Structure 1
């Protein structure tokens, strides 16, 4: 589980680098961007390797019906994540749509995974997303964007369903069928 924990630490440090030491990050220019990208990617790889290698230690037994709650939350998380890329009417409703999506994603996965490695991974990413929102909110003032066209939100809903199906396919390919049956 050490790789998983190191991956979470590296992921968090790389993402917070710009906010915690902005002057250093600015002086580094493109090299700083590259360093952050390498840190994020290395953190992600370590998390995946660490999670896959972690011994299964059950902490709690989620009820079977929780899978339905997870899937509904995941559909919402995909929609929230996409809100950052759209210019529809809903875009200005949430300041941090991607980080909110990560929080929903993490909670959804915590609801259906009761093993220690899952608690560390999803709990760690949930903690990172909460910390990231706090740090950003302290560092920057937000100007709510003007609402766009409603048809862009409808397009986002269609893209959300397609992406959710793609994510389901990837989970199935990895050996995890996300629907009870």
Structure 2
């Protein structure tokens, strides 16, 4: 359990580093990007090791309908994660599309996983995203809104979302986790 918790904390701390310690981050210059990226990568590694090695500890029983809603939420989460860097019209409509995508991803996984490792991982990253939105909104109350986007950008985002969703489902199946109802 400790590896999982450390991974979530390292992920969060690395992402918040420039807001927690802006002078230290600025003093690192461009080299700081590599250090932050390395910390995030180590955080991900610790989360994977911690999640996979934790014993099953039951916390709650997920609802039977959760799989259906999870798949729908995951499509939206993948689209939102991509919208942050897309040329779609959706990008300009939401202030934090990527963080909102992480929140949906987190909630969708909590709908189908009722064990302690899932609560720590998905709940922890969902909490990180919520806190990040609050911190960013306080630091930058009125950012410049992105203008642009087109129907072509929307179509590209949709195609990329569907391809990535299929790839994510394939990885889940490869790992032995069937992500669809009826099995």
What TM-score does the superposition give when structure 2 sets the normalisation length?
A: 0.95
Rounded Cα–Cα distance in structure 1 between residues aligned with 2:143 and 2:98? 15
Pairing of 1:12-51 with structure 2 (within 5 A): 12-51=12-51
**CA drift at 1:59:** 1.1
Unmatched 5+ residue regions in structure 2?
Answer: none
Q: Describe the superposition over 1:3-60 as per-residue Cα deviations: whole angstroms up to 9, x where unpaired.
A: 0001111111111001111121111112221221111111110011000011101111
Q: Which residue of 2 aligns with 1:61?
A: 61
Question: Which residue number in structure 2 is paired with residue 156 of structure 1?
Answer: 157
Query: Does 1:108 pair with 2:108?
Result: yes
Which aligned runs of 4 or more in structure 1 are off by greater than 2 angstroms? none
Structure 1: 5+ residue runs without aligned partners?
none
Conserved 8 A contact 1:168-1:178: yes
- 8 Å CA contact 1:90–1:147 kept in 2: the answer is no
Q: Could you state the TM-score of these two structures normalised by the residue count of structure 1?
A: 0.96
The residue aligned with 2:148 is 147
- Contact 1:92 1:146 (8 Å CA) reproduced: yes
Residue 173 of structure 1 deviates from its aligned partner by 0.4
Partner Cα distance (1:99, 1:69) in 2: 19
Q: CA RMSD in A?
A: 1.0
Q: Is the 8 A contact 1:77 1:101 kept in 2?
A: yes
